Structure 1
Amino acid sequence: MDWVYRVGLLLAALAFGVAAGMLLARGRRSARATAGTGGADDPRGGRAVDMDEGQPQGKTGLKGLGRRSLDSLRVGVVVLDADDEPVLVNPAARAMGLLRSGGAPGTIAAHPILRTLAGQVRRTGVRREVELDLPRGRAGGASAPLGLHLRAVALNATHVAVEAADVTESHRLARVRRDFVANVSHELKTPIGALQLLAEALLDATELPEPAPDAQSEDLLAARRFAERIHHESARMGRLVNELLELTRLQGAEPLPTPEPVALDWVIAEVIDRTRTTASAKGIDVEYTGPKGATVYGSDSQIATAVTNLVENAIAYSGEDTKVSLAVRPGDDWIEIDVADEGIGIAPHDLDRIFERFYRADQARSRATGGTGLGLAIVKHIATNHGGRVDVSSTLGGGSTFTLRLPARPPESPLPLPAATEIESGATGR
């Protein structure tokens, strides 16, 4: 009976070999068919061939299932090869207008923005994400722009996949919000200015005469206290309105200026000059240490505003007769500006939220300092718009150090991207 067992094993092996050969031949035929005709939505036309072509109807191959899944997505997907030619496009990407007519008749090409992102991903090897508005139609038309969140990822050394999500509605709501804030702020500037002028006039009218009766002196003193309070609060409201307008501009209401070389020597001198009066009132020394001649790229006014806000924040939360240190640390690609204080510090649970608008780590102390709660929000948006970032390290009761990181080289821009809209809504003061 041993020979029967052996013959059975041999027949089983032969059957397995025949089945494997048939499957291999079928796979080669499918591969040749796919290479010759392209996918179901391959930009070069043709049809998709399922991995298990030849199976009875009702059975879906893995490739066909993947193709249908890709086509059913609401996000657009475009895969570009080494020459930035689209080799895979789903219907959502076509509907978003991410394809253009190619140089030759009957050919297509990817949108220039996609080619730019793909080139940056290949050069750096880092995933890129950006939100922007694209005009609809060939001439833009009068319709609202198409808001897209683009995410480019390298699939291998040559191919890059770009995912596009339609965020038009969120961009429209953001624009409505920014326009509302800007309009209200503009309307508030006039009455606030009038209040300040009236408060100053009232202060002049309530000066105490040298020989004055006691009853009249008390009335004048009370009126003067009220006038001083009105002047203080109107000035604070004026700062709040100005910073709201500044934040609205930074969040995309106005186009970003073209990056230019900015001398940090001028920025440091400007910041020290702007904060001299506030620092002297508390006996705080603002000191600078670092090399001279450092240069960053961006907007000189925005960078000066960001560093000024950091120094003013440090002064506001520092005790009298302390020190605020400014330091510059140059690098090949980035330059870091440190602003360190000897103040009250920030609790660990507040570190992740201090850049949010109107966030207050200590409500009572924030009211005492007269801050608007927008200073650090503005710093964050300026850093983001320059392609950098702002970080903070702090010890509760031991002071804080804010680090502003800015590009030391001009940005690579083979093809400029459209003006980006607001990506994050975060931002602000302690």
Structure 2
Amino acid sequence: MAVAVAVALVAGLVAGLLLSRTVRERRRPAPGSDRSRGSAGRPAIPDEQQGGLSGLGRKTIDSLRAGVVVLDPDDVPVLVNPAARALGLLRTGTTPGSIAAHPLIRTLAGQVRRTGVRREIELDLPRGRDSAGDNPLGVHLRAMGLGAGYISVEAADVTESHRLARVRRDFVANVSHELKTPIGALQLLAEALVDATEPTGEGTSELSEDMIAARRFAERIQHESTRLGRLVQELLELTRLQGAEPQPAPEPVSVDWVIAEVVDRTRTSATAHRVEIVVDGERGLTVYGSDSQLATAVSNLVENAINYSGEDTTVRVAARATDEHVEIAVTDQGIGIAPNEVERIFERFYRADQARSRATGGTGLGLAIVKHIASNHGGRVDVSSTLGGGSTFTLRLPARPPDDLEATLSSAGIEAGPAELR
């Protein structure tokens, strides 16, 4: 709410800035005058204009907890509230007594001017030169154009939410690591029980009721321990994707290789469910990111399609290129998704059909993993579905190398945290 108020106020104040600049241009003092030029070689902003902004609108912006910075077409700050200064969004300018926007602010402003699209990012800023990792400042930045080359950047302090997210990720990761050993032992013991109750030799075809029950329980233990092991593995994978570990540097990835790898991974499951996997679409496409993560994302989509499809049906995997993206679509002929559940299926542990998920051994994390992989690669995943008529999941990934924003953050002295660019 505060940011929305800030946007409206900033737009009005910038309109005043533009009008005042026009009047000032007409009344500009003669060359050589001390007040003729600003510190960066541009018309100075008179004190009375900054004060003119100190009416009700300026006082309101100064009272906001959200930081507000407005840059002119030359990336010079023309409006800064105290919250923005407290968040460390300003730097000392090149000339004595002048100020400049943080390099990240200028980068976001340049992207907005170049694309005309609002940009948002969440990251962690070190609080000082010697505190880069212990207690970073979490900020959510939103940059948007105000017209005539002016850019407004609003910053919100999200340090506490980032801290809680880190605590949660660390807890899940630690618990999952601790569970791997006993789960592995449980799987081995269950396998040994199954082998011990295997009928062998002549005259053993008729087992006692106790042996039959023991074998049934052993097989059940083996099934559930395998499912629990898969859950722990996917929890660890999701924790890594959410920022517990740095993401690998993006590299060119062949979409043909990804699809071939996915078909190979899911062949056994498809055969068991009597589902045919058909591959079509364009060939020779390239995306940028981690080949293993992209293969995992598409594999999860195909496995999901197989599990929710009937026998003697088809799952189709198709790739195509658009102007800005490469799309990998997975279409099934399964049970479909109800309209009121479409928005929730990417939530962790959410299952549209609880009974079917238990029967297939699903963990409820597969689509959440797909969503985070897509987000980490600068893309997204969409779904269109008809209840009883099948579903299509479309993974959209950038067709060009990602912007070198990470390098810009590093050069600006910023520790990149869990970030999302939209």
TM bracket, shorter-chain basis? 0.7 to 0.9
The corresponding residue for 2:210 is: 219
2:416 pairs, out of 405, 414, 419, with 419
2:188 pairs, out of 184, 192, 197, with 197
Q: How does 1:96-245 map to 2 (within 5 A)?
A: 96-140=87-131, 143-212=134-203, 216-245=207-236
Instruction: Quote how far apart the aligned CAs of 1:182 are.
Output: 0.4
State the one-letter code of the partner of 1:67. Answer: R
Residues 375, 420 of structure 2: 8 Å contact kept: no
Cα 1:253–1:141 shift into 2, 3 Å: closer
Instruction: Quote how far apart the aligned CAs of 1:257 are.
Output: 1.8
Instruction: Quote how far apart the aligned CAs of 1:362 are.
Output: 1.4
User: More deviation in 75-84 or 399-408?
Assistant: 75-84
Q: Match of 2:381, SS?
A: strand
C-alpha distance after superposition, 1:361-393 (max 9, x if no partner): 111111111100000000011111111111111
C-alpha distance after superposition, 1:260-295 (max 9, x if no partner): 110011101100000000001111111100122110
Q: How far apart, in 1, do the equivalents of 2:83 and 2:420 lie?
A: 22
State the one-letter code of the partner of 2:145. Answer: A
Instruction: Quote how far apart the aligned CAs of 1:48 are.
Output: 5.3
Gaps spanning 5+ residues in structure 1: where?
1-27, 52-61, 425-430
Is 1:353 the counterpart of 2:350? The answer is no
Cα 1:48–1:158 shift into 2, 3 Å: closer
Is 1:278 the counterpart of 2:276? The answer is no
Q: Percent identity?
A: 71
Q: How far apart, in 2, do the equivalents of 1:214 and 1:337 lie?
A: 51
Q: Match of 1:355, SS?
A: coil
User: More deviation in 103-112 or 212-221?
Assistant: 212-221
Q: How far apart, in 1, do the equivalents of 2:56 and 2:257 lie?
A: 61
How many pairs does the alignment contain? 381
State the one-letter code of the partner of 1:132. Answer: L
The corresponding residue for 1:373 is: 364
Residues 345, 400 of structure 1: 8 Å contact kept: yes
Cα 1:63–1:135 shift into 2, 3 Å: closer
Q: How far apart, in 2, do the equivalents of 1:317 and 1:143 lie?
A: 45
TM-score by length of 2: 0.85
Q: How far apart, in 2, do the equivalents of 1:226 and 1:209 lie?
A: 19
- Tell me the C-alpha RMSD between the 2 structures: 2.5
Residues 306, 382 of structure 1: 8 Å contact kept: yes
User: More deviation in 204-213 or 260-269?
Assistant: 204-213
Q: How far apart, in 1, do the equivalents of 2:236 and 2:199 lie?
A: 39
C-alpha distance after superposition, 1:296-340 (max 9, x if no partner): 111111110000000000000001111100000112310101100
Instruction: Quote how far apart the aligned CAs of 1:395 are.
Output: 1.1
The corresponding residue for 2:296 is: 305
Larger Rg: 1
1:87 pairs, out of 59, 78, 83, with 78
Gaps spanning 5+ residues in structure 2: where?
1-22, 29-34, 39-43, 410-414
Q: How far apart, in 2, do the equivalents of 1:124 and 1:102 lie?
A: 27
Cα 1:258–1:49 shift into 2, 3 Å: closer
C-alpha distance after superposition, 1:74-128 (max 9, x if no partner): 1111111222121211111111111112223332211111111101100010111
